[in-house]
Structure 1
């Protein structure tokens, strides 16, 4: 079953649309039943994401559980994204790229400076070379969180392959202009993100790649695609969500 991306939605369905410039960071609480769609505007973008339960910030995205229960190294449409309490923050219901990086994390100041040289906000303003680690730290600090609260993140629009020896290689031109990835949220979630470049990006110049975000409220008449990977485990995860929200078994997720 296909998912209607925001260009096909009627205006009342769209809560807001925002363009996040490259080398920026952003956050918001997204309610249960809403869908966040990210669009790579120019191609070659990277969108690093972290998830937290705003009602209990100790509950956050758990990469190992997400991967092992669905027997995968990558994520794409049909996968669920788990918290460390066995609940599902959201489902990937649309992915033009077919591959979301799950293991490489974000770059820090030292690696960005070594690769692209140093620029500071004081001298270069919005053209400075921010790194993903510091960008996430700035954003989580708004919620009283710090270094110890940063977990393994996702990198939307980025693909990293591994060979038989376990060596990682970044796939250039993986995401094309206009590619979209849509996340449907199964519980209220604090989303932290940055558009800083992927740590393995080999570009000669620091890539300032913007991403458009569109938030929509799912219509009660729309039937969302069910998880297609790790189906039994994901049904248990959705059951944990149902009990957490005290929802009737007759209600469709």
Structure 2
């Protein structure tokens, strides 16, 4: 198994198969490393204040505070109250996406035709996993897409294209408060976000070693 990007005592180390979901509370100071096991696999992600899920990850607040459309090392992931939820402390690819959104049955049918109308997507994974924590449809907001490549073209257009990640690439995010993290291992097979071949993810949570 791949190791965490950040040293510490391992709290959780779990593999997420394609088309499955994962969730867990990451305590303040702990670090979550997400591993792209097979390469070019999108990990859709939502983040909530573990004690008050009405406070949750906000794309506009995150982008406005940093003045950049991409998530990179040092990006502070902000809540809808402007507070720091998590910080990207290490990142093995150039940039991460937070503007491409999440797939779902309805959007897949609209984009790819009725032959996929029964294929569920990240939206359905979010609902299923979130229900374990009392979350529902009203709690679904715009999400992060770890390892997905969504370039912003000079004319402002967006594209979902072949990823920049590879087997074993990692991103590590530190919790700035107790947070609930919900991740969908994206089942999308109709665009290049998963290289048309969904593969596993690995989720590693560590408690940081105390500095001397």
Answer yes or no: same fold by TM over 0.5: yes
- CA distance 1:186–1:7, shift in 2 (3 Å): closer
Measured after TM superposition, the shift of residue 205 of structure 1 is: 8.2
In 2: Cα distance, 1:160 partner to 1:173 partner: 8
Question: Structure 2 regions of 5+ residues with no counterpart?
Answer: none
Judge conservation of contact 2:162–2:195 (CA < 8 Å) in 1.
no
In 2: Cα distance, 1:112 partner to 1:143 partner: 26
In 2: Cα distance, 1:63 partner to 1:142 partner: 24
In 2: Cα distance, 1:98 partner to 1:205 partner: 18
- The match for 2:100 is 104
Measured after TM superposition, the shift of residue 86 of structure 1 is: 2.1
CA radius of gyration, larger in: 1
- CA distance 1:203–1:47, shift in 2 (3 Å): closer
TM-score, length-scaled by structure 1 = 0.75
Across the aligned residues of Structure 1 and Structure 2, the Cα RMSD in angstroms comes to 2.5
| Greater relative contact order (CA < 8 Å, ≥ 6 in sequence) | 2
- The match for 1:24 is 20
In 2: Cα distance, 1:102 partner to 1:204 partner: 16
- CA distance 1:77–1:100, shift in 2 (3 Å): same
In 2: Cα distance, 1:84 partner to 1:204 partner: 29
Question: Structure 1 regions of 5+ residues with no counterpart?
Answer: 121-128, 223-253
Identify the structure with the greater helix proportion. 1
- The match for 2:209 is 219
- The match for 1:185 is 175
